[in-house]
Amino acid sequence: MPTALPVQAGALEQSTLTPSPTAPAATPATATPTPLLSPTPSPTPTPIPAQVQLPAPPWEKQDINNCGPATLSMFLNFFGWKGDQFTISDVIKPIPQDRNVNIEELLYYTRNYAGWLRSEFRVGGTVELLKGFIAAGLPVVIEESFYFEEYYWPNDDRWAGHYLLVSGYDDATQTFTGQDSFYGPNKRIPYAELDRNWQSFNRVYFFAFLPEQEEMVKNLLGEDWDIAQNRKNALETARRETEQDPNNGFAWFNLGSNLVYFESYAEAAQAYDRARAAGLPQRMLRYQFGPFFAYFNTGRDADLLALTEYALKITPNSEEALLWHGWAQYRLGNRQKAIESFQKALEARPGYFDAQYALNFVNQN
């Protein structure tokens, strides 16, 4: 991945979302303070079992580029949905060569085709949170790092994104149980390994529940039920991880992505600069597109063009890279090349609203 222009010396500017410093303690009063009543202790949360294994749904081996639909199919089958991965891919991924299904597309399908369920996704998940969901009887889908078994080009790092259905855990062995559409059913993954692989996708997790289970899920999530607060928490986790390991490209990338959510584009661009300098997998921009937003919104058109050209060398039919490549060309005065990119994005994903909007905008201006 091409590196950005050198970042100016000095630490990354502090986000306005960084918690305010603790206020200085007040000067003690000279009068003897009135004794305070002891607060009523909060109820202690009920400890979860040391081991839970939910009944595994029928396992599905993924078809080409189909881990998203296959994993969602297994997930929905847990709730009694009838169908398979092709029922889903016909809707959200009708072109088999489409190599990426975003988690928003999993959410779209569930809300529109399994509407008796409530479905959500959040970021910044933890091992303990996954265990809490499973102990409550709810499996969880996560997106994580994956390594191909074969090389597709010289010096291929073989890294890719992959969905996993987490359906059990065991504290004695410190392992989760995952239904993996590539490797098979009931795969055992150590807690630390899962968290390490999960970090590369901002620890995103997708979950669903019956309407009558909403209060239970709210209690599980706590303040992370609120989407904005969830992002703030994930932002601070990413910031802390960049401080713990300044050479962790995933930590910097997650910091950028959470800043993009809050439209703090200048800071996000700096974080992505650091991520690129630290090193990222070759296929990173096949799955996550925050840098395109950050560089576009800070007027860094040369960076945007370089990154989208790199992404398209790796994934020529990526509709997201084609879209942002078109905007970079338009910004740089190459109107016809922009139109061609938007048209290719629509060919890669028919009905792609953002590409159709871009094409209409350029044709009218």
Same domain, yes or no: 84 and 175: yes
Give residue-wise pLDDT tens across range 199-227: 999 999 999 999 999 999 999 999 999 99
Domain finish residue from 192, 225, 258: 225
Q: How confident is the model at residue 4 (pLDDT cuts 50, 70, 90)?
A: confident
For residue 269, the domain's CATH number is: 1.25.40.10
- Establish how many alpha carbons lie within 13 A of residue 237's alpha carbon, considering only the half-sphere containing its beta carbon: 19
Same domain, yes or no: 268 and 339: yes
Same domain, yes or no: 219 and 248: no
Q: How confident is the model at residue 341 (pLDDT cuts 50, 70, 90)?
A: very high
Domain finish residue from 225, 244, 272: 225
Same domain, yes or no: 69 and 217: yes
Same domain, yes or no: 200 and 74: yes
Same domain, yes or no: 221 and 97: yes
Same domain, yes or no: 248 and 204: no
Q: What is the pTM of this model?
A: 0.88
The domain in which residue 241 lies consists of 229-364
Domain finish residue from 185, 210, 225: 225
**Cα–chain center distance at 280:** 15
Same domain, yes or no: 262 and 319: yes
Give residue-wise pLDDT tens across range 83-108: 999 999 999 999 999 999 999 999 99
Burial letters 170-209, b for 16+ CB under 10 A, else e: beeeebbbbbbbbeebeeebebeebbebbbbbbbbbbbbb
User: Domain count of the chain?
Assistant: 2
What phi, psi does 165 have (nearest 5°)?
-95, 115
Same domain, yes or no: 82 and 214: yes
In a domain, 304, yes or no: yes
Same domain, yes or no: 103 and 192: yes
Same domain, yes or no: 207 and 259: no
In a domain, 316, yes or no: yes
Same domain, yes or no: 291 and 212: no
Helix (H, G, I), strand (E, B) or coil at 164: strand
Cβ contacts of 26-34, under 8 Å, gap ≥ 24 = none
